[in-house]
Amino acid sequence: MNLPENYIPILIQAAVGLSFVLLSLIGTHFLGPKQSKAQNRKNESFECGIEVEGNARTPFSVKYFLTAVLFVLFDIEIVFFYPYAVNFREFGVEGFLAVLTFVAVFFLAFIYVWKRGALDWDK
């Protein structure tokens, strides 16, 4: 099989990477800690070494999810400002009015959400 000389470093790197993966998998099997069935705690909940308190199925308030969705919505709005900020001179007055309309729509949505009480955590 004739391989061009350009492929030899790629094949060497692939062989080194594959051998590292195989050596790591085999090494961890033999060098890792052995646990008996009595010590197996794989099915327990674990969070930073803190013992579990209560049920994990406790329902969250809808306000939590609403706030998360609103955050994502208004965060994505900020992403659309980047192209305008980079090219604002090329867009001219027409581009400025388009961005102003875009901001006005989101500002009205923010006022609506605020007046509906979606941002009040006390309720």
**Per-residue pLDDT tens over the stretch 68-86:** 888 888 888 888 888 888 8
What mean pLDDT comes out for the span 55-65? 76
32 band by pLDDT with thresholds 50, 70 and 90 = confident
Phi then psi for 29, rounded to 5 degrees? -65, -45
Instruction: Report in angstroms the alpha-carbon separations of 108 from 34, 103, 113.
Output: 61, 9, 9
Asked whether the predicted pLDDT for residue 89 surpasses 80, the reply is yes
pLDDT(26) > 90? yes
**CA 115 centroid distance within chain:** 30
Average pLDDT over residues 46-65: 72
Is pTM beyond 0.85? Reply is no
pLDDT digits (tens, 9 = 90+) for 93-119: 998 999 899 899 989 988 998 898 877
39 Rama class: left (phi>0) / alpha (psi -120 to 50) / beta: alpha
Residue 44, Ramachandran bin (φ over 0: left; ψ between -120 and 50: alpha; else beta): beta
Confidence of residue 44 (pLDDT cuts 50, 70, 90): low
Distance, in Å, from the CA atom of 64 to the CA atom of 114, rounded to the nearest integer, reads 15
Inter-residue contact 52 to 45 (CB < 8 Å):
yes
pLDDT surpassing 70 at residue 60: yes
